[in-house]
Copies of this chain bind each other. A is one copy, B any other.
Amino acid sequence: MPARRAIDHACPIRDVLDRIGDAWSLLVMIELAKGPCRFNALRRVIDGISQRMLSVTLRHLERDGLVSRAVLPTAPPQVEYTLTPLGHSLIDRLEPLRQWAVAHQGAVRRARAEFDTRVMDPAT
Contacts and interface: CB of A to CB of B under 8 A. Distances in A.
Interface string A1-33: 110011110011111110011110011001000
Interface string A32-64: 000000000000000110000000000000111
A89 B5 CA distance: 28
**Chain A: interface size category:** 35 or more
Interface in A92-124: 93-94, 96-102, 104-105, 107-108, 110-112, 114-116
18 contacts: A1-B1, A5-B48, A11-B27, A12-B101, A12-B105, A14-B26, A15-B108, A17-B20, A17-B21, A17-B26, A21-B22, A63-B112, A64-B108, A65-B111, A65-B114, A89-B104, A90-B100, A93-B96
